[in-house]
Amino acid sequence: MSIRPKPPEGFDENPPLDAEFFARARPAAPGEAARLRAVLERIVKAHDEGRPVDDAIAQARETLAGAQ
């Protein structure tokens, strides 16, 4: 995993959430929250154990793609 470059001066990584963001929000389908939590926990566990997180991130991406 490579180090992310510093963002440009004045770049806001946490912009305010607008009405469009909330318009796209939806409740989680049954079991979806548990699946998403599980893949996030795998990423954190791999990082905590000093293992590469690439596989866990790839699995999270697949899970997120299926959730949309």
- pLDDT, tens digit only, all 68 positions of the chain: 678 888 888 888 887 888 888 888 888 788 888 888 899 999 999 999 999 999 999 988 998 887 66
In the chain, the number of structural domains is 1
Confidence (pLDDT) at 52: 93
Question: Does residue 10 lie within any of the structural domains?
Answer: no
In a domain, 52, yes or no: yes
Do the domain assignments include residue 11? Answer: no
13 occurs within a structural domain: no
- Single-letter amino acid, residue 8: P
Q: Could you tell me if residue 51 is inside a domain?
A: yes
19 located within any domain: no
User: What is the Cα–Cα distance from 25 to 5, expressed in whole angstroms?
Assistant: 30
Check residue 13 and give its pLDDT: 82
Residue 9 lies in a domain: no
Contact 6, 57 (CB under 8 A): no
Query: Residue 6 has which token pair?
Result: 């510093």
Q: What is the distance between the alpha carbons of residues 42 and 37, in angstroms, rounded to a whole number?
A: 9
